[in-house]
Structure 1
């Protein structure tokens, strides 16, 4: 027999939206809160969002961590399914079918008779080991053009006598692909792809290129949270997962810790801890063709702890991604874990604070960000690398008034890669700006400064305004410099 609440809400439940004022937001953007479902007494359900996706018609499917999957259509909620174990991802196949990543398996959930309630649950793949640990989350799936599913398997948390901790603290594995990025074929076969993941809470794919990216949370062997492209055979730094690598399986004594720095894949973008992100979630590409403003092709990444959304601009240097990141919207109502664009080009933010807490204060929520379609905010669009410094691109023309070497504050640092929990900024340096050149059209400026690979650069502009008079909502960007241009 299904729970009473399931029966009570088999029919639609009207949900209002409410405007929300963020503490930092670019001009032309707005936030609204979508009121989440309540029980029979009017008490809000614990609706921490673990998955979020859309039908072609624009209906939303939302997987709650504890309350099953719900459908939001034309301003009303209806329950779609129950009986799931902490789902941390969702892919919409059609209006009657979703694919759910839950801790023990990847599951197809389907309404076969069209009554709005799922009645078929099919295991697609369960070939990883789930040992019942709280932290063994399964993030994803994202799906490529060939129908393959991609998942991130979280490490476990526990004592050293239970799991191999890799000389780090808190996170380990007892085998079974904890700490791996995996592919599941359309036939349901599990293929381990990359290792060294710690707490990889965010997973995204560029559907135009099939390139997969993930976000990592700071901890042992992770000096600060980051974004990285997933590559086959790559190792991303956390050693515990290597016990499932054929070279080390059953022989952890062969894992030589001193060699990790040579093995690990470098992040594309670091998120400075405490300044931008403490625990990032999904990266999502803006492929809305301008419906979300002047940032087409960039990524948006939420942070569960800081309740903010960041904006990332990537470029390839010597065949590897690196790039810049900016704070975009700050102080939403709860932790921003799951992001997705709907067919109208609005960015939905699935939120949860349960178990971790967040700056926003609420334990769960769902918010939606829209652009008004006409207002172009004056912002740093991107920071890109030059042979002798950087180029700052703007969303609209910059005024020449106030642009000089004194407009810049530039510093850089590196991080320790070690088994300690996170890393402070190491060897912080201030850099002199030697010269500044503003383009004729005002849409970019180049500045010369000392470049040192393997460091994060912080670039702050002061006293700079648009030709039309506006100032920027945020005056600071961060660039992860892995490789220099020739």
Structure 2
């Protein structure tokens, strides 16, 4: 007799395979940190320049269009949407907003800090007064940021350099951090700044700021600014002879040799090396605001660490600092991607969530929206992450947020590299090489692992720590398996005595790693040759009558080409002149029809090989290309147009640019 399945049994049979599948689904970032989008009325262009939480739970935002808005119910409690009320208007591109404990706003415009007061309590500013002002030259790049309140009641602001094909300080104090008293009196604090959009004070009173890649800045970085510090860009030193300047260094005292910044700092004593480098494109491309986690666990297991925004990649990174021999240093890790626009400001909410203010006009970002406010909320679930990387006398120690599976806890690799310190815009990765591992020792509780290097580590270098094979005791992979540690000083102490098994395993892993590295190097060399074959910079000898057609393409601010359409005849001989008129690095890559996004994605995955390949992946989708060009430079290439008519594409494949810098190369008969 056949056994019939009852309805409850049928439901159970259907349910359990589904629930089992869900249980085995790979964890995503959304499982741990959820992004909540605040709806904004279409009539409000909320290009956020600053955010300020108010004591009553509301949120204030200033916009690049010169307005200040007060947002009620930003937590969207009770299924209600936020409401917006305009508090102030008519300001000049404010990029910082602070609520003062005495009951008023301070907002930093291009040329002054403005005090905004609501005298009658109707949530509209009645009084606009100048708190402190500085001169302007009229240059488009004269952004100004802050203020940030210090424990003693003073404040700090930062002033962007001008841009005239290179960073310049055309007006007084451009490229400086300034300290203001509550009475509006100013003291110059530090210089060497280029584009200091993010800065703040830690719980111990230390002041840090973040910097963007540019001239004298090989990659994004975070630096501790003590009074009189010089952070690297010499343009602001033009004002070092002014009364009150805390340093006397002159621009001509700073050499542009291309040596690593760490080495130059040995002779230029005022030069402050970064505590943390954010490797360009590997972590982000446009470092912005940061906040120290003071939420006492409400934001997850990273209390005391820093969360750093990136405008160009629309992401938040994480930093774990330590002090070794009096030097600040530490590691940065990926944290959360997928925000709707370019992150410029972050603030903590009353519930320990993080409000993120965004804008992308003129500073294009991977997030597709032109602006927005989102809230990042910890779900309460514990992510499996590398929590910290710290220096040890013979290597590093990695701690985790959960115990590791001891069978996989030895799956590490180390690489080190640096950047040039010179007046040129940015820097390729320099002196990269793998670091052999002598042994790995996992702590008895599985919460940490010591990585012992088989060589003396290089101070002043960035060390990439990869743990791709490590699993938690419950079998989970790391949510992010890489961190980048800036080693300014090797920690003192006794070196670890390794058990025989740890050495044997490390030697086995190192042999495999070296074999893999050798194979990878050979592959990279082959790929570089393959890519270079698609770039011809001299007119072919058999073009006796020259090119059939000459095309000229340029760039514009905001990650744009100056044209999005080109047309050529099938099979014709083409001379293409690419002018990089922008203040960023760009290339020009011609792809097969519909392949621009795929090429951009492949360029992003080149990792440490990206610079040497000019961020042009070795793929059949790439037809022709230029090299990466510095600002205000050009390159000419020659190629034969495809013989098959169609809509081909051109793209800048520099990571973070490809989603916006695209156009169509129409090939006609």
Same fold? TM cut 0.5 = yes
Gaps of at least 5 residues in structure 1 are 1-22, 40-44, 159-168
- CA separation in 2, counterparts of 1:380 and 1:252? 41
- Cα distance, 1:399 vs. partner? 1.4
Q: Per-residue displacement from partner, 1:19-73 (whole Å, max 9, x unpaired)?
A: xxxx97264210011122332xxxxx33211101111222101111115011111
SS at match of 2:316: strand
Q: Hey, what's the Cα distance between the residues in 1 that align with 2:254 and 2:299?
A: 45
Tell me the residue number matched to 1:255: 252
Q: 1:177 to 1:253 in 2, by over 3 A?
A: closer
Partners of 2:118 and 2:475 in 1: CA distance: 54
Distance of 2:41 and 2:166 partners within structure 1: 35
| Residue 193 to residue 347, structure 1, CA distance change in 2 (3 Å) | same
CA root-mean-square deviation: 2.0
Counterpart position of 1:384: 390
After TM superposition, give the deviation of residue 96 of structure 1 in Å.
5.6
**In the TM superposition, what is the alpha-carbon distance from 1:331 to its structure 2 partner?**
2.6
1:434 maps to what in 2?
438
Aligned pairs (5 A) from 1:23-34: 25=29, 27-34=31-38
Q: State the secondary structure of the residue aligned to 1:361.
A: coil
Go from structure 1 to structure 2 and tell me whether the alpha carbon gap of 1:33 and 1:409 turns closer, same or farther (over 3 Å shift): same
Aligned partners of 1:113 and 1:57: how far apart in 2? 17
Partner of 1:106: 113
Matches within 5 A, 1:327-338: 327-338=334-345
- The structure in which a higher percent of residues are strand is 1
Tell me which structure has the larger Cα radius of gyration.
Answer: 2
Instruction: Name the TM-score, length of structure 1 as normaliser.
Output: 0.88
> In the alignment, which residue of structure 2 is the partner of 1:60?
59
- 1:429 and 1:67, CA in 2 relative to 1: closer, same or farther beyond 3 A? same
1:141-183 Cα distance to aligned partner (Å, 9 max, x none): 111111111011100112xxxxxxxxxx421012410000110
Residues 281 and 337 in structure 1, CA contact (< 8 A), matched pair in contact too? yes
Partner of 2:212: 217
Report matched runs for 1:171-320 at 5 Å: 171-206=167-202, 208-246=203-241, 255-258=252-255, 261=265, 262=268, 263-320=270-327
Moved runs in structure 1, 4+ residues, more than 6 A? Answer: 251-254
2:558 — aligned with what? none
Of structures 1 and 2, the one with the larger relative CO (CA 8 A, separation 6+) is 1
| Structure with greater helix share of residues | 2
Native 8 Å contact 2:70 2:84 kept in 1: yes
Structure-2 separation of matches of 1:310 and 1:258: 32
User: Normalising by the residue count of structure 2, what TM-score does the alignment of the two structures yield?
Assistant: 0.64
CA contact (8 A) 2:234 2:250 kept: no
| 2:408 equivalent among 390, 399, 402 | 402
- Deviation, structure 1 residue 131: 1.9
State the alpha-carbon separation in 1 of the partners of residues 384 and 488 from structure 2.
Answer: 28
Q: Following TM superposition, by how much is the alpha carbon of 1:122 offset from its aligned partner in structure 2, in angstroms?
A: 1.7
Q: Using the alignment, how far apart are the partners of 1:385 and 1:253 within structure 2?
A: 35
